Amino acid sequence: MAWRASTVDHLTNAPLLVLPNFDKTFEIECDASGIGIGTVLTQERKPVAYFSEKLSGAPLNYPTYDKEMYALIRALETWQHYLWPKEFVIHSDHESLKHIKGQHNLNKRHAKWVAFLESFLYVIWYKKGKENIVADALSRRYTLLNHLDSKLLGFAFLKDLYNSDTDFGDVYKLCEHTAIDKFFRFDGFLFRGGKLCIPQSSMRELLVLEAHGGGLIGHFGIAKTLAILQEHFFWPRMKRDVEKICPTLWSKLGTKLLFSTTCHPQTDGQTEVVNRVISTLLRAIVRKNLKSWEECLPHIEFAYNRTVHFATKFSPFEIVYGFNPLSPLDLIPLPNDQIINIDAKKKVDYVKHLHQKVKANIEARTEQYVRKANKGRKQVIFEPGDWVWVHMRKERFPAQRKSKLLPRGDGPFQVLERINDNSYKLDLPGEYNVSATFNVVDLSFYDIGDDLGANRFEERRNDTTILPELSAANEDPLELHVGPITRARAKRFKDATTTLVDRVWGETVAGLFESSWTSKPIKPCILLQAQLSSSST
């Protein structure tokens, strides 16, 4: 084969797609192989669009005639918006497709395809297989991708890196004749407990990428990617390398992992607002036909992207493409907008100017939101050891609390740690089984001077639910109080007198409580009262 300048030009310069011209005739070239189909839409031998598809399921077992016809049908389904107005030409290397209109005995599949095919104005021309190059290459594209996808990782070069490696150099030399600890050498490679040791090289990054997004892996997070690597390989600080590479992949996708306190979605407010709007639109359109909500999604998407947003003052579609899509109202015969008909350079300048205006509108709206949110807001700071009330979402209560009418707050709880001005860690009982970190908006001060039976979230609260250590710190159980004696206060008084009697008289008096000469045990408070009376006389 002679390498000419034209050959190099074809290999280094991809053909550009041309814009469709509806005054000219469209042509379709289609072909099918054993595992895929490929089609190309052209005008005057210049490509307008390409389409290829890997066969799976039932189409994979179709006979050759059905695969060729299936390729034609898929091409028409993909480009029907180009083809319906005028007559077009179909090129196929399967000559029997020329006689498709003359078939009389059709099975169900062919009848369905022919009915769809007859909705177009078309002419089928036979094209020899060696001339149908583009469509044939597209139909075999997935065979090539399968070969390119299966990379064989060669580890032979690692043998030359062990001696000079700072992580494994010393142990590699020591394991030349015998195993040391869990390290041993086999066929020039160093292993630790059956896991291949990887010296410092680009192989580490390649293995992390393969464990994260290789074949049959699934693009899991840091923990699962690390677990997959640890099954086969070993090197020091493997976890650090995985934690370093995975966020790099997120940045390539344009995503960012944001941490927030539980049940406080303001960190990702944009997503929450979009989900809320989409849910509202679905609720308005679906109404009683709940099973048809999937069919409404395209209409919801169009309505959302076509509507002017309050913050940007433009629709999302116009921000991306520079103009709004046609809606039923646009079918009224009115003069076309000049924005659609401007040339490329003016269009680019217009879109840049549009993005600048959108950015300015978003910044202005954000400042307005900040002023409105901070109006009248006071910064509240809690210190470790403070007692606070907690406002909880429904899903954060213990499992046994099912009623919708139960209060949405609980407490008081003690502050254990101040993470920052917005997050605090509380001493939350284990029965809640949720994160003990709360946002500051869900916390409020507990005033020790408040009535212990009054919870700001719950009226007529039972005294038995008050933390005993809190009440013990705020009042003397032996002190006589004015007012009714509640069960909780009587229990604390009994416990305090029992403790006092045990400390003063010890086991001698304690044995009298279970004396056999009386049918009922002597209560410590009665004995203490009698002792105090006798000592005062």
- pLDDT band per the 50, 70, 90 thresholds, residue 221: confident
In this structure, is the dihedral angle defined by the CA atoms of residues 372, 378, 383 and 386, taken in order, positive or negative?
A: negative
> What CA–CA distance (Å, rounded) separates 301 from 293?
12
**Per-residue confidence (pLDDT) for residue 111, from 0 to 100:** 87
Ranked by mean pLDDT, which of 6-15, 382-391, 430-439, 490-499 comes out on top?
382-391
- pLDDT band per the 50, 70, 90 thresholds, residue 168: very high
**How many other C-beta atoms can be found within 10 angstroms of the C-beta atom of residue 217?**
14
Cα distance between the two ends of the chain:
127
> What CA–CA distance (Å, rounded) separates 449 from 469?
16
Q: Cα 143 to chain center, whole Å?
A: 32
Q: What are the structure tokens assigned to 348, written together?
A: 């680019």
* pLDDT for 236 beyond 90: yes
Buried b (16+ CB within 10 A) or exposed e, 54-67: ebeeebeeeeeebb
Residue 35 burial class via C-beta count within 10 angstroms: exposed 0-12, middle 13-18, buried 19 and up: middle
- 242 with 229: CB under 8 angstroms? yes
Q: Identify which has the larger pLDDT, 189 or 324.
A: 189
Helices and strands, number each (H, E), in the chain: 17, 14
- 84 with 75: CB under 8 angstroms? no
Mean pLDDT over all residues of the chain? 73
**Per-residue confidence (pLDDT) for residue 497, from 0 to 100:** 75
Ranked by mean pLDDT, which of 157-161, 270-274, 362-366 comes out on top?
157-161
**How many other C-beta atoms can be found within 10 angstroms of the C-beta atom of residue 446?**
19
**What's the half-sphere exposure (Cβ side, CA atoms, 13 Å) at 253?**
10
> What CA–CA distance (Å, rounded) separates 457 from 355?
48
**Per-residue confidence (pLDDT) for residue 152, from 0 to 100:** 38
pLDDT in tens, 301-311: 887 887 777 77
* 412: preceding bond cis by omega (within 30 degrees): yes
pLDDT in tens, 358-379: 888 878 877 887 788 777 667 7
- Can you tell me the mean pLDDT for 465-474? 46
**Per-residue confidence (pLDDT) for residue 276, from 0 to 100:** 80
- 463 with 489: CB under 8 angstroms? yes
Q: What are the structure tokens assigned to 474, written together?
A: 């705020």
- Can you tell me the mean pLDDT for 506-531? 50
Q: In what order do the strands lie in the sheet with 88-92?
A: 46-54, 36-43, 27-32, 88-92, 122-126
pLDDT in tens, 452-468: 444 444 444 444 444 44
> What CA–CA distance (Å, rounded) separates 231 from 366?
48
* pLDDT for 102 beyond 50: yes
Q: What are the structure tokens assigned to 272, written together?
A: 């929450």
**Residue 169: C-alpha distances to residues 181, 191, 200, 233, 395 (Å):** 15, 13, 11, 17, 54
- Can you tell me the mean pLDDT for 285-298? 75
> What CA–CA distance (Å, rounded) separates 342 from 2?
46
**Per-residue confidence (pLDDT) for residue 513, from 0 to 100:** 47
Tell me, what DSSP letter sits at residue 214? Answer: S
- pLDDT band per the 50, 70, 90 thresholds, residue 516: very low
**Per-residue confidence (pLDDT) for residue 456, from 0 to 100:** 46
Ranked by mean pLDDT, which of 81-95, 165-179, 488-502 comes out on top?
165-179
**Per-residue confidence (pLDDT) for residue 234, from 0 to 100:** 93
Ranked by mean pLDDT, which of 113-117, 257-261, 484-488 comes out on top?
113-117
- List alpha helices for 232-343, DSSP H: 238-253, 269-286, 293-306, 316-321
Ranked by mean pLDDT, which of 227-236, 274-283, 297-306 comes out on top?
227-236
* pLDDT for 119 beyond 80: yes
- Residue-by-residue DSSP string for 270-286: HHHHHHHHHHHHHHHHH
> What CA–CA distance (Å, rounded) separates 161 from 157?
7
**Per-residue confidence (pLDDT) for residue 468, from 0 to 100:** 46
Q: Does an H or E element contain 473, and which?
A: helix 468-474
Q: What angle do CA 79, 81, 87 make, to 5 degrees?
A: 85
SS3 234: strand
Q: What are the structure tokens assigned to 407, written together?
A: 């209060």
**Per-residue confidence (pLDDT) for residue 148, from 0 to 100:** 40
> What CA–CA distance (Å, rounded) separates 264 from 187?
56
**Per-residue confidence (pLDDT) for residue 465, from 0 to 100:** 47
**Per-residue confidence (pLDDT) for residue 213, from 0 to 100:** 72
**Per-residue confidence (pLDDT) for residue 192, from 0 to 100:** 92
Tell me, what DSSP letter sits at residue 84? Answer: S
Residues of the chain with pLDDT > 90, as a percent, come to: 3
> What CA–CA distance (Å, rounded) separates 89 from 125?
7
**Per-residue confidence (pLDDT) for residue 199, from 0 to 100:** 92
Q: Cα 383 to chain center, whole Å?
A: 34
Tell me, what DSSP letter sits at residue 491? Answer: H
Q: What are the structure tokens assigned to 312, written together?
A: 């940007």
In this structure, is the dihedral angle defined by the CA atoms of residues 463, 469, 471 and 477, taken in order, positive or negative?
A: positive
Q: Identify which has the larger pLDDT, 324 or 153.
A: 324
- pLDDT band per the 50, 70, 90 thresholds, residue 238: very high
Contacts of 198 (CB under 8 A, 6+ apart): 158, 204, 207, 233, 234, 235
- 304 with 281: CB under 8 angstroms? yes
* pLDDT for 398 beyond 70: no
**How many other C-beta atoms can be found within 10 angstroms of the C-beta atom of residue 38?**
26
- pLDDT band per the 50, 70, 90 thresholds, residue 144: very low
Q: What are the structure tokens assigned to 453, written together?
A: 């039976």
Residues of the chain with pLDDT > 70, as a percent, come to: 65
* pLDDT for 473 beyond 50: no
> What CA–CA distance (Å, rounded) separates 462 from 178?
72
pLDDT in tens, 418-441: 888 788 888 887 777 778 888 888
- Can you tell me the mean pLDDT for 514-519? 45
- pLDDT band per the 50, 70, 90 thresholds, residue 266: low
**Residue 480: C-alpha distances to residues 359, 449, 473, 485 (Å):** 69, 18, 16, 10
**Per-residue confidence (pLDDT) for residue 223, from 0 to 100:** 82
Q: What are the structure tokens assigned to 332, written together?
A: 């009224």
* pLDDT for 30 beyond 80: yes
* pLDDT for 57 beyond 60: yes
**Hey, what amino acid is at 370?**
V
SS3 content of the chain, % helix, strand, coil (to 5): 45, 15, 40
Lowest mean pLDDT among 88-92, 234-238, 308-312: 308-312
- List alpha helices for 13-132, DSSP H: 64-83, 108-117
